[in-house]
Structure 1
Amino acid sequence: MATSVDAKLLKSTKFPVEFNQKVDMQKVNVEVMKKWIAGKISDILGNEDDVVIELCFNLIEGSRFPDIKKMQIQLTGFLDKDTAGFCKELWKLCLSGQSNPQGVPKELLEAKKLELIQEKVHIHILPYSIR
């Protein structure tokens, strides 16, 4: 699928050092990552673009060891200036996920914990503020 243009871009683009590390998708909780991907792409584009989201899912699930550099090149047409940041964040989460026994990136676990704590605080405060 890589065209000669893609090949040139792969050679000329400076990628983050994290991209040199492999991710074994069998060690990553793909469903958790898909939820993050869908949310992040929707944030970037300002709407839920199923085509771009599905493309990203296919790229990440296409092989056991996805190539984040090729993925970044392929997503650039859709995510424009946000592609590099998106791919770097995605790769860091995948790297984190593969080192966690549940396959969930610790950053997402921390964010979920914080969300649950805030909900609890909100629930406890709410009844008193109604009076």
Structure 2
Amino acid sequence: MHAETETARAFFTACETGQGWEACRPHCTPDATFAAQSDALAEVRTLEQYTEWMRGILAVLTDGTYDLHFFAADPERNAVCAYATFIGTHLASGPCPPTGRTTRTDYVYVMRFQDGRIAHMTKIWNSGWALKELGWG
């Protein structure tokens, strides 16, 4: 298996299970950046901030999980792409009292590598759709 694919998979699992930056850090450059064209993530600029955001969202959507559909490397571009569906129900305190509503929201991560570690990640996600499903928007 391609080394970058193994690194990306370990990062993906740690991030998507809410383990935060401490667990994700070994797979990333220290200054790894983050981007998303998403209102919910408009202020998030680093991968450290994003992994901590994921930790926080899983404290609100306490049954949060994911269904991984696609995972592949593009060695020519030093990138790995993951496509999944996040599933979670608002069961704990958060931006509003628990709604008991569930989202099933698709997203894609494009992870770009430098020297064998993730240097940048772009998340492609329709946050507005997910927030509406949760009763937040």
**If the TM-score is normalised by the length of the shorter chain, which range does it land in?**
under 0.3
Higher relative contact order, structure no. (Cα contacts within 8 Å, ≥ 6 residues apart): 1
| Structure in which a larger fraction of residues adopt strand | 2
TM-score, normalized by length of structure 2? 0.27
Instruction: Report the structure number with the largest CA radius of gyration.
Output: 1
TM-score, normalized by length of structure 1? 0.27
